[in-house]
Amino acid sequence: MLTLLPILLLLLAAAALALLGWLRPKFTYHWLVAAGGAFLPWVGAWVLRSRLPTTHVLSLWEPHELLPMLPELLADAVSWPLSLALVTLCLGVIFTDVGRASETSWTVWTGDLGITALGVLAVMAGNPLTLIMAWTLIDVLKVVILLRQVEDRSTRRRVIAFFSANTLGIMLVFWAMMDSLRSGTPLTFNNVPSSSAVFLIAAAGLRLGALPLQVAFLREPHQKRGQGTLIHLIPPAASLVLLVRTAQTGVPQAWESIFLVFAVGAGVFGGIAWAGARDELNGRVYWMVGVSAMAFAAAIRSQPAAALSWSVTLIYSGAVLFLASARERRFLLIGLLALFNLSSLPFSPTFTGAGLYSPFNLLIVFLLVAQAALLIGFVKHMLTETAPLAGVERWVLLIYPLGLTLLPATHLVAGNWLLPDLGAPTPPPTWPSLVVLGLALIVGLLAWRGVRVPERVFS
């Protein structure tokens, strides 16, 4: 039952907020209800850490022969870090919303809590069937939200096209399930045949927009920070969990180079485009593609710990920038902590992510370029000052930076000292972080001398 706790608390908070909004529209403490509804699941996620692994069957159905698999939740070394990242993201969104009063309301916070609950459901899916169900719910909710925000026909077509690509990813998971059943064994995350792993990796890559590259479909119709960050980071997290679980098996050697080429292409494109973007919101889609490609490459190379490291980094480090609507010099330490978490230096959460570079492969040299570009873009956007928090009450000046600080602080603690053991085959190498920092320094000096990559190149 403890496995259900974060999801139930999020759904109950969303329901309570909706009822208050409808029955008492003049109620003035909607934000407090939303903040409490996000804080309790965050605490519940920390409590869950001491009970790993644990499972919970969601439903029993008959006949068992029709579909020999039951919807279940699994809290383990893979799902716990991702679920904690999602509830921390939700808490950070609601805390920082105090600085974006014009973008928020009780309806927005209800949606925030609801879509976070679906995201946690997806990353805690105990088998492919549960994951497919969660994917479907997330896709439908995201499409409904996006279609309500856009009116022009071309953008609506783009939303539908991306939804179709996601549906194709779901079909590939079904194909993997059928492929496993043909061999006489139902597909589970603890037993992924190498032939089925190809379909699962392809499904995750397709939904992440990296296989093939689908930036045109991923591009956002509206650049919003709060709920916009949630609805653009939760679906990738729901797909990244499949990459991490499949990484424990890996793909057949015949497919490794093919998939790695796609990962490298997406990583280099995403990283350079992120660094060249006008601001972090215009570059958000490129951040997702670039960091997802790092996790994708790690999964292909059978490095689950590295894949998990990059998966949670996509959420934590990205959200620090995407939620920082008021970026002032006094908040610089928050950005520096997030930058350290992204650096792959020893004692940083992404030091485990450097495992994707071992053993050495000529193609992964390009991933060093991608990672350096991600770092450069992060520094560039972090140092861009925006309008300060002005004309707000004193409690806002406390809550807003607290919401930002929670993200890198939780990342550092949960991704470094409390990260469950996934059994990395060898310790991560140190040399990749040194190469990446060297490349970033060289490119930074060139940028200082006026060398620029036009943003239209990636439009």
Q: What pLDDT is attached to residue 375?
A: 93
176-190: average pLDDT: 82
Least confident of 140-144, 148-152, 451-455: 451-455
- Interval 80-126: pLDDT, tens: 999 999 999 999 999 998 877 666 788 888 989 999 999 999 999 99
Sorting pLDDT into bands at 50, 70 and 90, what band is 227? Answer: confident
Considering only CA atoms, give the Rg of the chain. Answer: 21
Mean of pLDDT over the chain = 84
CA distance 59 to 66: 15
> Contact, 325 vs 96, CB < 8 A?
yes
Q: How large is the angle between the packed helices 79-96 and 226-247, nearest 10 degrees?
A: 170
Count of CB atoms within 10 A of residue 424's CB?
15
Question: What percent of the chain stands above pLDDT 90?
Answer: 37
- Interval 419-433: pLDDT, tens: 766 665 567 788 888
- Interval 147-156: pLDDT, tens: 777 677 777 7
Residue ranges making up the domain that contains 9? 2-458
- The H or E element containing residue 22 is helix 5-23
CA distance 456 to 169: 30
Cis check for the bond before 41: say yes or no (omega within 30 of 0). no
Q: What pLDDT is attached to residue 218?
A: 53
- Interval 378-417: pLDDT, tens: 999 888 877 777 667 788 888 888 999 999 999 999 987 7
Q: What pLDDT is attached to residue 369?
A: 92
CA distance 11 to 19: 12
More confident residue, 171 or 226: 171
Q: Is 274 exposed, middle or buried (0-12, 13-18, 19+ CB in 10 A)?
A: buried
244-269: average pLDDT: 88
User: Domain count of the chain?
Assistant: 1
